[in-house]
Amino acid sequence: MSVEALLALGSNLGEKKETLMRAIGDLCTHPKIEVKNVSPVAVTAPVGGPAGQPDFVNLVLRIETTLSPFDLLRFTQTIEDKHHRKREVHWGPRTLDIDIIQYASLEMDEPDLTLPHPRAAERAFVLEPWARMEPEAELAGSSVRNLAEIADDADGIREFFPAPVVCG
């Protein structure tokens, strides 16, 4: 059975925008994933982690998948590894980060995966692109648009670029 999920992608090292586009392409190659919608690309200040990091580029995308949440997590981690993701510093700079924000209406708290994502409702770098892609979206019963406006990092969004072409 297919379910909808929301993924957040971010990068602040290397060819950032190109890495996000390639990662979307990697998602498109999986036979059990269909990319349905992609947000505009946001340029944002880093949140948390060590000082002096470069700005991030961030986007969210809506997918439909028959993968389980854990299979989806493993596949997204494979994509991160393909793009040279290093996990050396918590919230440190990275070539690619892919987070599962929502997986249908599933709520779970496991050591490797918490759904919905535990900090998504506080992060404008996730919420603002999502609200631009799906203006009526809700997270945990609250308007994503309203959550974006009150997020502590709302003033860290620098600019937007148009949504990329999806899967071809």
Point out which residues pair with 35 in neighbouring strands: 63
> Residue 92 corresponds to which tokens in the numbers above?
């440190």
Catalytic center residues: 85, 94, 97, 99
- CA–CA gap between residue 24 and residue 164 (Å, rounded): 9
- Taking residue 152's Cβ as centre, other Cβ atoms within 10 Å add up to 10
> Residue 62 corresponds to which tokens in the numbers above?
């809506």
- CA–CA gap between residue 64 and residue 35 (Å, rounded): 6
